[in-house]
Chains A and B, each alone.
Chain A
């Protein structure tokens, strides 16, 4: 089995991967990084979203071997250096943007990707951007609020 090397959250990693191994499986099983989840088998739900070379990617839609040499960022890499919640993560907690937590890693990665290219998205832009991420718990209300709040826009807190 070929050895696949990449950088994950700033650390060089290497692990054997069968040709058909998905990036999501590589992260979860080969590296034991279970923050990235898997929620479907058709690339529709987005709970497995990560960044590959700065781009938002569904890690179940990419072979591990395709990420050879890439810079990968997962939800485990989204906290501040001191371990405290990063700005997007903090906004999700402040605005109750998660319930069961299963879609949350993908939502955080999707939100981060959006805010990199659009620092002050409108509600409609946030909703459109999340079209690749399913959440079954929140009805999206507090996720949208959390992302707008993370962009520094004035959003009333979840329980006013």
Chain B
């Protein structure tokens, strides 16, 4: 290992600016001559928009211009990036999504007008003076009700509120049904995967800027993937060719998926900046974020597991309703399908699986990917039904899992993916050790002695990360490729700049990525700088989500660096008058095997730019290479998690007493950052399990649209976590052998918490087998009274 190279827990260099108040988030920017936007948003969930009276607003102080849907009549709508083909071979129903509502409003928060004014306060004041003439219509909120005959339609031009009815794998359906008929035991579980709000601490911001001298547009935005926004907004919404549009995402204050998507406010600011020829800025309030940021999860599922007389899993089938909200957000259709159905095998050799998903439009905020995106939903239902089966069969839930583990790799699942590596026995063994499961009964007795019910929940998870092979996702309906890019520029004096299409929103790329290059060349990581987040100076890349940055973006950087090293070796061979094949690179020095000849990294890089003594007949001067890496397969991180809770039998209050995670992420570049990613994921998973849940009333009003009402986990809701990633089965198909760690905690933790609470209640004499999340005191207490 080079000093500070792969495997070193290097402290993060970006922390210096974040800790001293010198970060550069989008809202920290102001442009000369900037005007401010405030949107007028629907306060009803569903209604006919008969007219918008902007006359009073136009007269308010400081108002520059007021826009309505009519201004966008000639502009494209917000596009969807994924098209699902349903079980009948038909493509999904895909509604229009105008930048500002036209004709109808379809959820609380749907914008129908916008004011641009000299100050933010003036814009807000004027937006409040806009009068919308809306005939309120009955709202559809519940998914099953939305599919009933005669239900109000969210989109009048669609045949119903059904976006698609997806069967996977449709050809297996008959065999699965047959297996259920022949099962010795069938466990059935109805559950809800609660609707969540991502709530990165930084609200979304967009600044549109237009240069009338060049005709160039620039959008500064809080995005995980500026190139994706440039392509979607330029090509599909505003008709700006990519060479006339720059998208910049500076420091991004968290995202968790919610900043992947292209939002109407981005298109509005870019459009309005040109219309008034001034920079235009919008900063979301938190209240606005709750009703405009894409939400996550919101699945209602029935899952059934079939077992033979020896408790081997023989078949699995699921029936899920997945909420799309009022419009299709950028990747929404892919989440309940390809990011969910393909994971239903989990860690187990279940030979037959059938997944049915009905995606439904409702008068609620659009739902899209949130940390884990489909994989938490798959993991939760699978791991919960296994634990329920263990209860029904009277067997140990860990033993039941171990008995059914996949143990040989590569393993082709019946749901279309092939796991390259993994060792589920090793992670479960590690979990039993780090969670001290052997000591649980003693701890349970101690809890009982003080009047508390202690419960233990254990589960496994697998996820598909490093998304994704472009040819595969293209077949599955993606309207984008999912490669990643990197340009590695070596300067004359030996320092390097990596321009990557990945983009950190907290993951520490500026620290971790240089460790890879430091290792490859044998130099100090401080010689490598990372440039990201700006389409003007990075190659076309797909951004950061799906735990893909190191696995895909890091691999692109690795390949570009390999090209750099190959060229540098040619230069070094020339300088040392040696055969290229004899040149070795170690510790920042080129040498010739078996001789004392050597030349330093910096001498070779200088020669590349001062080519006085240089093989100009063979190679060009300069040292800069670009690589695009398209993965051959997903990566498959996996692990085993354990949660111990105490339940207060008098109040139903659950406290997390211990949480342990044994993960297999393949190779690790910076273990400190990996630990942090797992901690954060578990925090969000416990939040889902115990606290969070967006609640709509029957009229489509979001009842908990602020931090006063939506229960975000706070420091005293959460414990210290015990995390371990020493079980490492490197990925076989990317050059770094890495799998990705960003989502694991959020995927693996909710079932552990619920399994633990069910266990605690049963130890207290209840015969309960399930409680839906979030496990609030009132829900737990009510369950105990049954």
* A positions within 8 Å CB-CB of B: 18, 20, 28-29, 33-42, 44-45, 47, 74-76, 78-79, 85, 89, 92-94, 96, 98-105, 108, 123-124, 126-128, 130-131, 133-145, 157-159
Which of these binds chain A: B16-24, B168-176, B607-615, B730-738? Answer: B16-24
A-facing mask of B492-525, CB < 8 A → 1, else 0? 0000000000000111100000000000000000
Do A136 and B672 contact each other (CB < 8 Å), given the known contacts A75-B20, A100-B202, A100-B253?
Answer: no
In the assembled complex, B747 has its CB within 8 A of some CB on chain A = no
In the assembled complex, B715 has its CB within 8 A of some CB on chain A = yes
> Nearest B residue to A93 by beta-carbon distance?
B15
B residues less than 8 Å from A37 (CB atoms) = 25, 27, 201-202, 253
In the assembled complex, B71 has its CB within 8 A of some CB on chain A = no
Pair B19/A139 contact, Cβ less than 8 Å = no
A residues less than 8 Å from B30 (CB atoms) = 29
B residues less than 8 Å from A131 (CB atoms) = 714-716
B residues less than 8 Å from A29 (CB atoms) = 30
Pair A76/B19 contact, Cβ less than 8 Å = no
- A1-B11 Cα distance, complex, nearest whole Å: 46
B residues less than 8 Å from A78 (CB atoms) = 19-20
Pair A101/B286 contact, Cβ less than 8 Å = no
- A105-B706 Cα distance, complex, nearest whole Å: 21
* Closest CB in chain B relative to A118 CB, distance in Å: 15
A-facing mask of B368-400, CB < 8 A → 1, else 0? 000000000000000000000000000000000
> Nearest B residue to A32 by beta-carbon distance?
B30
Q: Can you report 19 residue pairs joining A to B where beta carbons are below 8 Å apart? A: A38-B203, A39-B202, A40-B285, A93-B12, A93-B19, A98-B18, A99-B254, A101-B14, A101-B15, A105-B21, A135-B201, A136-B199, A136-B201, A136-B684, A137-B680, A139-B682, A139-B713, A140-B683, A140-B713
In the assembled complex, B200 has its CB within 8 A of some CB on chain A = yes
* B positions within 8 Å CB-CB of A: 9, 11-12, 14-23, 25, 27-28, 30, 121, 198-203, 251-254, 256, 285-287, 505-508, 670-673, 675-676, 679-684, 686, 706-708, 712-716, 718, 720-721, 745
Pair A158/B20 contact, Cβ less than 8 Å = no
B residues less than 8 Å from A45 (CB atoms) = 201, 286, 707
Pair B19/A108 contact, Cβ less than 8 Å = yes
* Closest CB in chain A relative to B572 CB, distance in Å: 35
B residues less than 8 Å from A93 (CB atoms) = 11-12, 15-16, 19
Pair A76/B708 contact, Cβ less than 8 Å = no
Pair B253/A130 contact, Cβ less than 8 Å = no
Pair B676/A158 contact, Cβ less than 8 Å = yes
* Closest CB in chain B relative to A142 CB, distance in Å: 6
Contact of B721 among A96, A139, A157 (CB under 8 A): A139
Pair A136/B712 contact, Cβ less than 8 Å = yes
Pair A89/B706 contact, Cβ less than 8 Å = no
B residues less than 8 Å from A140 (CB atoms) = 679, 683, 713-715, 718
Pair A136/B707 contact, Cβ less than 8 Å = no
B residues less than 8 Å from A133 (CB atoms) = 714-715
Interface centre among B199, B507, B675, B716 (most CB of A within 10 A): B716
Pair A92/B679 contact, Cβ less than 8 Å = no
Pair B679/A138 contact, Cβ less than 8 Å = yes
- A143-B201 Cα distance, complex, nearest whole Å: 15
Among all A-B residue pairs, the 4 with the closest Cβ atoms? A35-B21, A139-B683, A101-B18, A102-B253
- A124-B720 Cα distance, complex, nearest whole Å: 11
B residues less than 8 Å from A94 (CB atoms) = 11
Pair A130/B202 contact, Cβ less than 8 Å = no
- A79-B18 Cα distance, complex, nearest whole Å: 12
**12 extra interchain contacts, Cβ-Cβ under 8 A, other than A134-B201, A144-B720?**
A33-B21, A34-B27, A44-B707, A75-B20, A78-B19, A93-B11, A102-B201, A104-B18, A126-B715, A130-B714, A136-B680, A159-B675
Pair A134/B714 contact, Cβ less than 8 Å = yes
- A28-B684 Cα distance, complex, nearest whole Å: 30
* Closest CB in chain B relative to A11 CB, distance in Å: 14
Pair B506/A101 contact, Cβ less than 8 Å = yes
* Closest CB in chain B relative to A19 CB, distance in Å: 11
B residues less than 8 Å from A126 (CB atoms) = 715
* Closest CB in chain B relative to A99 CB, distance in Å: 4
Pair B20/A85 contact, Cβ less than 8 Å = yes
A residues less than 8 Å from B21 (CB atoms) = 33-36, 74-76, 105
Pair A85/B203 contact, Cβ less than 8 Å = no
* Closest CB in chain A relative to B503 CB, distance in Å: 12
Interface of B is mostly: loop
Pair A44/B708 contact, Cβ less than 8 Å = yes
B residues less than 8 Å from A38 (CB atoms) = 27, 203
Contact of A79 among B20, B203, B287, B714 (CB under 8 A): B20
A residues less than 8 Å from B203 (CB atoms) = 38-39
Pair A18/B121 contact, Cβ less than 8 Å = yes
Pair A42/B9 contact, Cβ less than 8 Å = no
Pair B19/A104 contact, Cβ less than 8 Å = yes
Interface of A is mostly: loop
Pair A76/B508 contact, Cβ less than 8 Å = no
Pair B285/A41 contact, Cβ less than 8 Å = yes
Contact of A98 among B15, B25, B121, B716 (CB under 8 A): B15
- A47-B681 Cα distance, complex, nearest whole Å: 20
* Closest CB in chain B relative to A123 CB, distance in Å: 8
A residues less than 8 Å from B721 (CB atoms) = 139, 141
- A33-B745 Cα distance, complex, nearest whole Å: 35
Pair B200/A136 contact, Cβ less than 8 Å = yes
Do A143 and B715 contact each other (CB < 8 Å), given the known contacts A45-B286, A137-B254?
Answer: yes
Pair B200/A102 contact, Cβ less than 8 Å = yes
Interface centre among A34, A47, A74 (most CB of B within 10 A): A34
Interface centre among A20, A76, A101, A145 (most CB of B within 10 A): A101
A residues less than 8 Å from B254 (CB atoms) = 99-100, 102, 136-137
B residues less than 8 Å from A108 (CB atoms) = 19
> Nearest A residue to B710 by beta-carbon distance?
A44
* Closest CB in chain B relative to A131 CB, distance in Å: 5
B residues less than 8 Å from A100 (CB atoms) = 200-202, 251-254, 505-506
* Closest CB in chain B relative to A67 CB, distance in Å: 18
* Closest CB in chain B relative to A45 CB, distance in Å: 6
* Closest CB in chain B relative to A152 CB, distance in Å: 19
- A150-B526 Cα distance, complex, nearest whole Å: 26
* Closest CB in chain A relative to B394 CB, distance in Å: 35
A residues less than 8 Å from B673 (CB atoms) = 96
* Closest CB in chain A relative to B260 CB, distance in Å: 15
Pair A40/B707 contact, Cβ less than 8 Å = yes
> Nearest A residue to B673 by beta-carbon distance?
A96
A residues less than 8 Å from B683 (CB atoms) = 138-141
> Nearest B residue to A123 by beta-carbon distance?
B720
- A45-B15 Cα distance, complex, nearest whole Å: 21
Do A142 and B676 contact each other (CB < 8 Å), given the known contacts A39-B201, A45-B707, A158-B9?
Answer: yes
Pair B708/A42 contact, Cβ less than 8 Å = yes
B residues less than 8 Å from A143 (CB atoms) = 715
Contact of A141 among B28, B252, B256, B679 (CB under 8 A): B679
- A143-B682 Cα distance, complex, nearest whole Å: 15
Do A76 and B20 contact each other (CB < 8 Å), given the known contacts A100-B254, A130-B715, A136-B712?
Answer: yes
A residues less than 8 Å from B745 (CB atoms) = 139
Do A75 and B19 contact each other (CB < 8 Å), given the known contacts A99-B508, A100-B252, A102-B253?
Answer: yes
* Closest CB in chain A relative to B191 CB, distance in Å: 24
Contact of B25 among A20, A41, A102 (CB under 8 A): A102
- A118-B167 Cα distance, complex, nearest whole Å: 59
- A63-B5 Cα distance, complex, nearest whole Å: 49
Pair A34/B18 contact, Cβ less than 8 Å = no
Pair A42/B684 contact, Cβ less than 8 Å = no
A residues less than 8 Å from B252 (CB atoms) = 100
> Nearest A residue to B686 by beta-carbon distance?
A139
- A75-B19 Cα distance, complex, nearest whole Å: 7
Pair A20/B121 contact, Cβ less than 8 Å = yes
> Nearest B residue to A47 by beta-carbon distance?
B201
* Closest CB in chain A relative to B545 CB, distance in Å: 14
- A99-B672 Cα distance, complex, nearest whole Å: 11
Pair A92/B19 contact, Cβ less than 8 Å = yes
Pair B680/A85 contact, Cβ less than 8 Å = no
